[in-house]
Structure 1
Amino acid sequence: MPLLILDEVSLAYGMHPLLDGASLSVDAGERVCLLGRNGEGKSTLLKIVNGDVTPDGGRVKLEAGARLAVLPQNLPTGDERTAYDVVASAFREAGELLAEFHALSQQADEASLDRMTKVQERLEALDGWRLDQKVNAILKQYQVNPDARLNTLSGGWQRRVLLAAALVSEPDILLLDEPTNHLDVPAISWLEDTLSQFRGAILFVSHDRAFIRRMATRVVELDRGQLVSFAATYDRYLDLKEKALEEEERQNALFDKRLKQEEAWIRQGIKARRTRNMGRVRALKAMREERRLRRDRGGNASFVVEDAARSGRLVVEARGAGFAYPDGKRVIEDMNLVIMRGDKIGLIGENGTGKTTLVRLLLGELQPTEGQIRLGTNREVAYFDQLRGELELSKTALDNLAEGREYIEINGQQKHVLGYLQEFLFSPERARSPVSVFSGGERARLMLAKLFSKPANILVLDEPTNDLDVETLELLESQLVQFSGTVLVISHDREFLDNVVSDTLALDGSGVVREYVGGYTDWRRQGGRFSAELEEASPVPVKKTEAPKPAKAEPALRPKPAKLSYKLKLELEQLPGKISELEGAVEALQQEIGDPEFYTRPQPEVAQKLEQLADTEHQLESTIERWMELEELGNP
């Protein structure tokens, strides 16, 4: 018997139906991934299952006695409870008493001791000390300080505490809404391992493709109010979904063709009307009603990044740069780095290792406390904030973007603000809704719309993939790859990094910044590991402050990848043609300059040709060096 059954569930807000007779069953041990576009109602569906939202129709049935726990999508704001209190709250009355006992134990007055005695008696009746052991055990497992207050923790550590609260009661059904948001990669890997051992059923919403591939035993898509189940892996689901959409388009086209023919028949002349078949007329009316009720799949997002004027060829150069806060905490140490125009740089590291500090140094917002950082010229920076802090929740999407304007200019073209928002899948009605009612994915799309409405040649993206649906995420990847400017990305989305970045900067918390060619997978192939993994692998705890510094004069000693990433393979394939083209250009210029009559030309023309030859020879030399570098990397 299924643990969870949804039978013909319906829910609508105004004229917008989120669920339209949706049905689903989840069996014990299944790990079901719920997919769908932003705003389709995935989070609302989880709230219906959890009992936080009552559907307009249908029924939701849990197996008798089944325990259910949930990890919310959004982090709490201003929660002053300790981590212990948050996790203990999973046990309701016993949790409240444990939290009270924990607080009273910090006091020494007589009234507190009297109260502790009463609380202790009640806890013994509820088997509370066994629950206390479970709370402390899971906090230790998560490496969380029980006395840390939630509002003082970073987003990643808050997520750990909430995960502990969801799992400590050992539920039969676990609901997860974007569980990898705000987690670093080691925490995501730990989460994957933990959930893989969980014996209950899991219903989760995620857009982390690597996480879905590892976790999902079945994929269910929420599409236009209906739940469609695919008993397949994620990659197989993608193939099946593509075929299903093609078949749907074919059937719709046939239906529309027949409808058009019937409409033409009904409008024939007087003689035809006298002899028309009334059954055919009724069939036409039914076809009209079917077409009216058909919910077409919405279009895909179609945004582009607006380029500013090109920055200088050098974006930033660091020589022996370091940074320490006034309290003496050293975050960056002895960094040597050069970033050129067009580089796509990914930053990898556990939460708290200094990625944001590094970005602020590279942008010139912080000054190094040692060494030098030289900034390039003509830099126009656009910043994507993972906390969506630039959005005013009380204002509409239109007001957040327009800022008093009716038209905005994108790559030299005037666009109406409403039309521009439609490219990000906001209908005019939705664009006039307050941001406070938006889902996490809709807020992320609005942040992208705001980001890309301003010209920039340097994009800084801090966790841009959180909450984005897969289709928008793939479009963002393609736009970033095509963007002619420089991109700095802080992300824990492993597949996103592989698809976008050309180089990776890895921080391990010791202050050392190491540079690697390629994305996340390439970093792994080159021996990249997180400090948490080093500590687990070592019988003696590894002290971060003792991490070895890379030698400045021996960059060639870095490990080489076993094979190239797709992007680097493509670049390697294109380089011979580029070399041949440059060699031809050099030969043509040398022949022209070798002509005895060449130096009789006007001096400015002679100087221009000589400079052109020098530039082309330099390009040829650089291209050959790059080809040799990639050849060596691909054949270690």
Structure 2
Amino acid sequence: MSNVRFDDVSLAFGLKPLLDGVNFSVDAGERVCLVGRNGEGKSSLLKIVSGDVVPDSGFVRFQDGVTVGTLPQDIPDATDKTVFEVVAEGLDEVGGWIARYHELIQHADSGSSLVELERVQAKIEASDGWSLNNKVDHLIKRFNLDPDKKMNSLSGGWRRRVLLAKALVNDPDVLILDEPTNHLDIPAISWLEKQLIEFRGALLFVSHDRSFIKRLATRIVELDRGNLTSWPGNYERYLEGKGKLLEDEARQNALFDKKLSEEEVWIRQGIKARRTRNEGRVRNLEGLRKVRQERREKQGRAKISLDDASLSGKLVAEASNISFSYPGGETLIKNLSLAVMRGDRIGLIGENGTGKTTLLKLLLGSLEPTEGTVRTGTKLDIAYFDQLRSALDPEKTVIDSVSEGREFLSIGGKDRHIISYLNDFLFTAARSRSPVKALSGGETNRLLLAKLFSKPANILVMDEPTNDLDVDTLELLEELLTAFKGTLLITSHDRYFLDNVVTSTLVFEKEGKVQEYIGGYSDWVAYTGGFDELGKEKSSEKSNVVSEPSPAPKITQEKQKAETAKGKKLSYKHKLELEKLPAQIESLETLLEQLQEAVGSAEFYNQDHELVSEKLAELESIELQLNEAMDRWVELESMAG
């Protein structure tokens, strides 16, 4: 049974139809993800369901008694209301009485407040409000919130937790979420996923976070040029089906255009070539022209390219035992030693406020460490994504923000007109003349990318570059960064993006500890178990450490791990891992033997010092990987046996 259903619903702002007679429904228990390009109308569709927008035509029908809860895309400005008051607001009028009762209980020190307390208590009792009060208490405890905390004292992630509790407190049948992971750190996203999986109602959400979509969605619905297409199943099935649909559409359009072209040639042959014209054929041609005119073409894909600068020096930055803390604040970074070499692709992950952006500034030399030293390399042409945000003047046009007074830009050794260059980032000529303040979040990020890539660079530093980008632009950015030959430093909460782009990860752990791991986000989770829902890292016993290799594990440690693993069920994923490990161990052993033989030769230390250092570091890394692979094999064998 459908909780909500659209019947021939249409909506347009100006001349552009966002919804063109769509039919759509969400059934009880479904988790439906709405995807599509920025500006297609996804948020407007959600607002129709929530009742904030009325469609131009058609009907929106709800099953009798269905209630709707909403988690908005933008977090409202923080106020001095308490957490309890905000959560209770989700219960409408009775929620206001409950919140007032809670406030009076905290300040029951005068005769007048006692009189009002009795009055409010009577209203709560008359509306069976005590059970609702228990719901507020239950959600606050479940979400690990402090009921008396002021909203303006909480971070964005914690305020979003409060708003989710507010949306859930009335037990909605349909929960609507618009980009719920925006500006959340990875622990908060993992926590949110857990809460939503446990939610028993229907879920309708918009997201560009592919890991989030994969974890939650039971159906994908795409909004494309005013039409909705439903794709039952997971995200992979959607991608496969979407690819086939676009191929069919392109083939049909090509056949149509060929027929139209043939008819246009026929009509132009004139009287000499044809004594009498076929009036039916003429009318048919007019119909073809009208259909072609009304065809809504799919928005083109952004054509982002990067102009590589000359190579930087081999060393980009070297930190030696650095620590950093702001005056009167906690230590963000403690005793970190790290070398960033040319070509490294490093991702930084951790909770908001743990020091990721601070470390970037330390490595770039724009901030001095409290202790230790940072040495930067030579020939560094740095492009810093985050710095451009503050450099954008909201009153300037898109053109002026990128061109800096130039009509032509030099991109890849060729001159490009500024309008042509901006068109690569999906800005039309008209949109290019719009002020920055009129842009959407996705358009602003595309503008930042256009500004970033308008100059050559060999070091890319990107602080949360994926916020508000649609999936198509994200995928193109991934391709670009993968092909980039320089050095890459990225902070991001987009787990899928990190897996596709970086080759090593700096994880910000507790008490200022920063640890480096081989691989992306998923590799780190496989090594350590990742963060728990409070943001603290789980056991890092199996961590694949790069910066400070640990000695080979002792036999007693292996036995201890094996004992711990006993009784655990071997999952399908673990079985596959166990099957691959022997070949991986054999390959590592062969490589280790080759390196040991090379290092042991008499001529080895007569080579260039840098080459010697590289080989020794590689030997140490392979030894570490082999030890860890052996550990993992023992652990999984114990689980299987």
Q: Which bin holds the TM-score, normalised by the shorter protein? A: 0.7 to 0.9
Is the contact between residue 386 and residue 463 of structure 1 (CA under 8 Å) also seen in structure 2? no
Is the contact between residue 39 and residue 438 of structure 1 (CA under 8 Å) also seen in structure 2? no
Secondary structure at the aligned position of 2:528 is classed as coil
1:112-141: CA deviations, max 9, x gaps? 333333222222223333323222322222
Q: Could you tell me which residue of structure 1 aligns to residue 123 of structure 2?
A: 122
1:325-348: CA deviations, max 9, x gaps? 322522211111111122111112
Determine whether 1:176 maps to 2:168. no
Is the contact between residue 549 and residue 624 of structure 2 (CA under 8 Å) also seen in structure 1? no
Secondary structure at the aligned position of 1:10 is classed as strand
Is the contact between residue 9 and residue 58 of structure 2 (CA under 8 Å) also seen in structure 1? yes
Secondary structure at the aligned position of 1:526 is classed as helix
Matches within 5 A, 1:444-455: 444-455=445-456
Q: Per-residue deviation at 1:619?
A: 4.8
Q: Could you tell me which residue of structure 1 aligns to residue 427 of structure 2?
A: 426
Secondary structure at the aligned position of 2:510 is classed as coil
Determine whether 1:633 maps to 2:634. no
User: Structure 1: which amino acid aligns with 2:82?
Assistant: T
1:262-292: CA deviations, max 9, x gaps? 1111222425543332222211111111111
Q: Could you tell me which residue of structure 2 aligns to residue 501 of structure 1?
A: 502
Closer, same or farther: CA 291–630 of 1 in aligned 2, 3 Å:
farther
Q: Could you tell me which residue of structure 1 aligns to residue 63 of structure 2?
A: 63
Provide the C-alpha distance between the structure 2 equivalents of 1:417 and 1:306, rounded to a whole number of angstroms: 15
Closer, same or farther: CA 448–76 of 1 in aligned 2, 3 Å:
farther
Q: Could you tell me which residue of structure 2 aligns to residue 596 of structure 1?
A: none
Q: Could you tell me which residue of structure 1 aligns to residue 222 of structure 2?
A: 221
Q: Could you tell me which residue of structure 2 aligns to residue 607 of structure 1?
A: none
Mean Cα deviation higher: 231-240 or 71-80: 71-80
Determine whether 1:458 maps to 2:459. yes
Matches within 5 A, 1:27-176: 27-107=27-107, 108-176=109-177
Question: What runs of 5+ residues in structure 1 fail to find an aligned partner?
Answer: 543-547, 584-589, 591-612
Closer, same or farther: CA 151–193 of 1 in aligned 2, 3 Å:
same
Q: CA RMSD in A?
A: 3.5
Matches within 5 A, 1:514-593: 514-530=515-531, 532=533, 554-555=549-550
Secondary structure at the aligned position of 2:262 is classed as helix
Provide the C-alpha distance between the structure 1 equivalents of 2:483 and 2:201, rounded to a whole number of angstroms: 44
Mean Cα deviation higher: 283-292 or 134-143: 134-143
Provide the C-alpha distance between the structure 2 equivalents of 1:91 and 1:534, rounded to a whole number of angstroms: 30
1:520-567: CA deviations, max 9, x gaps? 1111222253255797989xxx9xxxxx9x99864455999979x9xx
Closer, same or farther: CA 195–477 of 1 in aligned 2, 3 Å:
same
Q: Could you tell me which residue of structure 2 aligns to residue 230 of structure 1?
A: 231
Q: Could you tell me which residue of structure 2 aligns to residue 605 of structure 1?
A: none
Is the contact between residue 10 and residue 55 of structure 2 (CA under 8 Å) also seen in structure 1? yes
Provide the C-alpha distance between the structure 1 equivalents of 2:399 and 2:181, rounded to a whole number of angstroms: 30
Secondary structure at the aligned position of 1:467 is classed as coil
User: Structure 2: which amino acid aligns with 1:633?
Assistant: Q
Secondary structure at the aligned position of 1:322 is classed as strand
Closer, same or farther: CA 105–257 of 1 in aligned 2, 3 Å:
same
Mean Cα deviation higher: 382-391 or 455-464: 382-391
1:210-269: CA deviations, max 9, x gaps? 111111111111111111111231101111111111111111111111111111112224
Is the contact between residue 402 and residue 417 of structure 1 (CA under 8 Å) also seen in structure 2? yes
User: Structure 2: which amino acid aligns with 1:10?
Assistant: S
Determine whether 1:9 maps to 2:9. yes
Determine whether 1:622 maps to 2:623. no
User: Structure 1: which amino acid aligns with 2:16?
Assistant: H
1:583-614: CA deviations, max 9, x gaps? 9xxxxxx9xxxxxxxxxxxxxxxxxxxxxx96
Provide the C-alpha distance between the structure 1 equivalents of 2:441 and 2:547, rounded to a whole number of angstroms: 44
User: Structure 2: which amino acid aligns with 1:369?
Assistant: T
Provide the C-alpha distance between the structure 2 equivalents of 1:134 and 1:34, rounded to a whole number of angstroms: 30
Closer, same or farther: CA 556–451 of 1 in aligned 2, 3 Å:
farther
Is the contact between residue 178 and residue 204 of structure 1 (CA under 8 Å) also seen in structure 2? yes
Provide the C-alpha distance between the structure 1 equivalents of 2:60 and 2:245, rounded to a whole number of angstroms: 28
Provide the C-alpha distance between the structure 2 equivalents of 1:85 and 1:385, rounded to a whole number of angstroms: 36
User: Structure 2: which amino acid aligns with 1:94?
Assistant: V
1:462-487: CA deviations, max 9, x gaps? 22222211111011111112222222
TM-score, normalised to structure 2, is 0.83
Q: Per-residue deviation at 1:386?
A: 11
Provide the C-alpha distance between the structure 2 equivalents of 1:338 and 1:537, rounded to a whole number of angstroms: 26
Matches within 5 A, 1:260-279: 260-279=261-280
Provide the C-alpha distance between the structure 2 equivalents of 1:119 and 1:503, rounded to a whole number of angstroms: 58
Provide the C-alpha distance between the structure 2 equivalents of 1:382 and 1:429, rounded to a whole number of angstroms: 28
User: Structure 2: which amino acid aligns with 1:140?
Assistant: K
Q: Per-residue deviation at 1:309?
A: 4.4
Q: Could you tell me which residue of structure 2 aligns to residue 329 of structure 1?
A: 330
Is the contact between residue 395 and residue 437 of structure 2 (CA under 8 Å) also seen in structure 1? yes
Secondary structure at the aligned position of 1:202 is classed as strand
Is the contact between residue 516 and residue 547 of structure 2 (CA under 8 Å) also seen in structure 1? no
Provide the C-alpha distance between the structure 2 equivalents of 1:518 and 1:50, rounded to a whole number of angstroms: 42
Q: Per-residue deviation at 1:87?
A: 1.6
1:58-83: CA deviations, max 9, x gaps? 22222222111111112223544332
Determine whether 1:340 maps to 2:332. no
Closer, same or farther: CA 252–450 of 1 in aligned 2, 3 Å:
same
User: Structure 1: which amino acid aligns with 2:224?
Assistant: D
Secondary structure at the aligned position of 1:274 is classed as coil
Is the contact between residue 343 and residue 487 of structure 1 (CA under 8 Å) also seen in structure 2? yes
Determine whether 1:207 maps to 2:208. yes
Q: Percent identity?
A: 54
1:19-73: CA deviations, max 9, x gaps? 2222211111111111111111111111122121222222222222211111111
Closer, same or farther: CA 552–64 of 1 in aligned 2, 3 Å:
closer
Q: Could you tell me which residue of structure 1 aligns to residue 415 of structure 2?
A: 414
User: Structure 2: which amino acid aligns with 1:494?
Assistant: R
* Number of equivalences: 586
Is the contact between residue 319 and residue 338 of structure 2 (CA under 8 Å) also seen in structure 1? yes
TM-score, normalised to structure 1, is 0.83
Provide the C-alpha distance between the structure 2 equivalents of 1:552 and 1:438, rounded to a whole number of angstroms: 43
Determine whether 1:198 maps to 2:215. no
Mean Cα deviation higher: 248-257 or 151-160: 151-160
Closer, same or farther: CA 66–381 of 1 in aligned 2, 3 Å:
same
Matches within 5 A, 1:259-298: 259-298=260-299
Provide the C-alpha distance between the structure 2 equivalents of 1:431 and 1:22, rounded to a whole number of angstroms: 31
Q: Per-residue deviation at 1:174?
A: 0.9
Q: Per-residue deviation at 1:93?
A: 1.1
Closer, same or farther: CA 63–534 of 1 in aligned 2, 3 Å:
closer
Secondary structure at the aligned position of 1:275 is classed as coil
Q: Per-residue deviation at 1:445?
A: 1.8
User: Structure 1: which amino acid aligns with 2:13?
Assistant: Y
